[in-house]
């Protein structure tokens, strides 16, 4: 009872086909073929001097204009446009005309040809995008063709493939939205693609998904401020509401669409919206209002010469009049509907009007006429069934051929990819081998050069090491000689010092012996000898000067052993003067007896002093005193 909307296939639920023509041509009223004053040949003659692009644009506009009224004329026009595009070798124009050929063949029921043209265009655009991946124009063309492929598969009952095409279209548009935010043309295409998914999910029974996409489409349509997109999204919302029998909400939606139509030059859309409002009002029991809307729809369809809309609305009006008990008016409009359906060859609406006709006759108890109308209804229904079967068989054949062609194309693409990869691999391998050879050559040269440099460096380093070794040996020898000389000199001085000490010891010992001998003589001589003894004794004692000898010894000792007493006192500050003397005598290696004579004490006293010194300086018993003192 209600009419379903589409973008190009008008009055088809939610489908949004894309064809490359101007909006003005899309909205222009369709003229009757009786008013066409020129043929295709005369048209081509009239645009003979135009540029090729202008010729193609003119042919495509006229093809769109006749696409619903007379698809055969439309097919001839777009075929001529495709020939011209092929001659220009302009891939964008070729893809546009292939898209047009696909759509017109769909209108004519040639699904096989429609799919072949469409996928030829898709493959052509994909090849171009491989060479120019950043081309926005060809990306737009590709997602447009994916959209149309989804519609074709949906009409053929291939919902899986249809969903795949729509999703690929949506994926491309989402990528473009992110790359070019704010681009209105991309946003508009995205909203149309959402509406296609709405219809598909609704047909698949996935109601919640359909409503989810519808909510997004409505939100984006309102933000876009595009009346066309609002019309498309709202119309699908209204049709879903009619399907769910939410007639009051559906009526409000169609009233909103009516406001939008005031800003749109879309007579077909207005006619369809009146029809949909009429259906909602009829279901709400508001028959008079429903009739007014149906009559408004019929008037526009008659003015446009839109046969399908006219026949459908006649059946709806007949139903209203039947409810209002106006059988004559009902018979009149169902008769008009049957007549128009026969003229247009549309059996679906012919069936609908025959159904209303036999219902009217049955209601008015004209059973013979009702039986005749019912027989016509059954005959048309059988014809449609047979045609449907034939169509299904044709679609199955088309699907088979399409899948076969797709498989062949995939195999061909795979072969080409393998061939391209093989060539690429060969080129890469050759270049790689060449580069490796060059690298090996330079590596060998570099290594050889480095080896030579290393050899020279090694020889120089070896020579330097020998020179350094010789220098160090000479330095060591010199130091050893210096140390030897210094040691010999030190030993010599120590020997001289020891000699002086021994000399002093011998002198003191000799003087002591003289005194002792004089003591003996004194005891034996008379008194007169005493005066002489005192004088000699004084002279001898004056020559036994231990302290003076020590001062001279210390002076010479510090010349030979500088810092000895200072270092010793720093480490052992508790040492007495006699202990310092004892340390000095041990430093020059004097024996116990010699030290006793120097100190004018007994050897046992020296040994006791040595024992105390060892204890005070913590000298181990196994360490000899001269060795220990040589450390200072």
What is the phi-psi region of residue 563: left when phi exceeds 0, alpha when psi lies from -120 to 50, beta otherwise? left
Classify residue 244: in a domain, yes or no. Answer: no
CA angle centred on 241, ends 238 and 245, rounded to 5°: 135
**Final residue in a domain of this structure, among 365, 391, 423:** 365
Q: Establish if 121 belongs to a structural domain.
A: no
Q: How many domains, in total, are found in the chain?
A: 2
Mean pLDDT, rounded, for 469-480: 76
Q: What's the CATH number where 284 sits?
A: 1.25.40.10
Q: What residues make up the domain containing 353? A: 252-365
Q: In angstroms, what CA-CA distances link 572 with 101, 562, 613?
A: 120, 17, 11
Is residue 39 in a domain? no
DSSP state of 37: -
Q: Is residue 234 part of a domain?
A: no
Q: Is the pTM of this model over 0.85?
A: no
Q: Confirm whether 328 is domain-assigned.
A: yes
For residue 525, tell me if it sits in a domain: yes
In this prediction, residue 31 carries a pLDDT of 41
Final residue belonging to a domain, choices 350, 365, 380: 365
pLDDT tens sequence across 379-434: 888 887 775 555 555 555 555 566 666 667 677 777 777 887 888 888 888 888 88
Q: How confident is the model at residue 539 (pLDDT cuts 50, 70, 90)?
A: low
Alpha-carbon gap, residue 422 to 418, rounded angstroms: 6
Biggest CA pair distance of the chain = 208
Overall average pLDDT of the 267-283 stretch: 90
pLDDT value, residue 20:
36
**Does any domain span residue 18?**
no
Q: Is residue 238 included in any domain, yes or no? A: no
Task: Answer with the one of 337, 365, 393 that is the final residue of a domain.
Answer: 365
Q: Is the dihedral of CA 24, 28, 31, 35 positive or negative?
A: negative
CA angle at 471 for the pair 468 and 477, rounded to the nearest 5°: 140
Instruction: Among 88-97, 324-333, 396-405, 469-478, name the one with the lowest average pLDDT.
Output: 396-405
* Percent over 90 (pLDDT), the chain: 16
């Amino acid at each position: 009872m209600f009419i379903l909307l589409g973008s190009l296939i008008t009055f088809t639920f939610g489908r949004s086909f894309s064809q490359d023509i101007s909006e003005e041509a899309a909205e222009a009223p369709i003229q009757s073929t009786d008013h066409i004053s020129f043929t295709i040949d005369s048209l081509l003659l009239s645009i003979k001097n135009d540029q090729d692009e202008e010729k193609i644009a003119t042919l495509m506009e006229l093809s769109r204009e006749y696409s619903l009224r007379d698809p055969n004329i439309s097919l001839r026009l777009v075929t001529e446009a495709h020939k011209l595009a092929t001659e220009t070798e302009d891939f964008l124009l070729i893809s546009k005309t292939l898209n047009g050929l696909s759509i017109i063949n769909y209108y004519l029921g040639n699904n096989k040809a429609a799919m072949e043209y469409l996928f030829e265009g898709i493959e052509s655009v994909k090849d171009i995008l491989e060479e120019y991946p950043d081309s926005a124009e060809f990306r737009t063309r590709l997602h447009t063709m994916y959209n149309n492929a989804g519609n074709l598969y949906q009409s053929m009952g291939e919902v899986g493939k249809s969903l795949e095409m729509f999703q690929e279209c949506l994926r491309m548009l989402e990528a473009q939205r992110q790359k070019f935010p704010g681009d209105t043309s991309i946003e508009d295409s995205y909203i149309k693609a959402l509406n296609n998914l709405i219809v598909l999910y609704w047909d698949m029974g996935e109601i919640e998904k359909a409503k989810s996409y519808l909510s997004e489409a409505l939100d984006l349509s309102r933000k876009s401020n595009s009346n066309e997109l609002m019309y498309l999204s709202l119309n699908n919302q209204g049709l879903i509401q009619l399907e769910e029998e939410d007639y009051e909400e559906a009526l409000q939606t169609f009233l909103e669409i009516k406001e939008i139509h005031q800003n749109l030059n879309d007579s077909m859309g207005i006619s369809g919206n009146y029809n949909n409002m009429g259906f909602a009002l009829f279901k709400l029991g508001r028959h008079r209002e429903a009739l007014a809307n149906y009559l408004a729809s019929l008037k526009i369809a008659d003015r446009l010469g839109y046969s399908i809309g006219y026949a459908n609305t006649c059946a709806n009006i007949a139903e209203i009049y039947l409810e209002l008990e106006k059988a004559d008016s009902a018979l009149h409009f169902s008769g008009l509907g049957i007549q128009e359906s026969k003229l247009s060859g549309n059996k679906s609406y012919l069936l609908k009007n025959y159904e209303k006709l036999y219902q009217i006759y049955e209601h008015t108890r004209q059973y013979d006429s009702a039986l005749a109308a019912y027989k016509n209804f059954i005959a048309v229904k059988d014809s449609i069934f047979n045609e449907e079967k034939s169509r299904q068989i044709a679609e199955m054949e088309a699907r088979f051929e399409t899948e076969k062609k797709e498989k062949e194309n995939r195999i061909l693409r795979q072969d080409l990819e393998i061939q391209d990869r093989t060539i690429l691999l060969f080129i890469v391998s050759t270049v790689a081998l060449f580069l490796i050879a060059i690298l090996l050559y330079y590596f060998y040269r570099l290594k050889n050069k480095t080896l030579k440099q290393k050899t020279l460096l090694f020889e120089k380093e070896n020579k330097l090491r020998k020179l350094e070794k010789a220098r160090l040996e000479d330095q060591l020898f010199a130091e050893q000689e210096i140390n030897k000389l210094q040691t010999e000199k030190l030993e010599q001085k120590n020997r001289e010092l020891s000699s002086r000490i021994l000399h002093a010891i011998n002198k003191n010992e000799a003087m002591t012996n003289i005194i002792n001998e004089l003591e003996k003589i004194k005891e034996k001589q008379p008194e007169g000898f005493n005066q002489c003894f005192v004088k000699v004794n004084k002279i001898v004692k004056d020559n036994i000067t231990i302290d003076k000898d020590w001062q001279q010894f210390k002076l010479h000792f510090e010349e030979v052993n500088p810092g000895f007493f200072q270092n010793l006192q720093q480490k052992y500050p508790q040492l007495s003067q006699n202990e310092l003397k004892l340390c000095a005598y041990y430093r020059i290696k004097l024996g116990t007896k010699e030290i006793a004579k120097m100190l004018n004490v007994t050897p046992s006293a020296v040994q006791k002093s040595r024992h105390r010194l060892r204890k005070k300086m913590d000298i181990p018993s196994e360490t000899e005193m001269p060795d220990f003192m040589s450390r200072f």
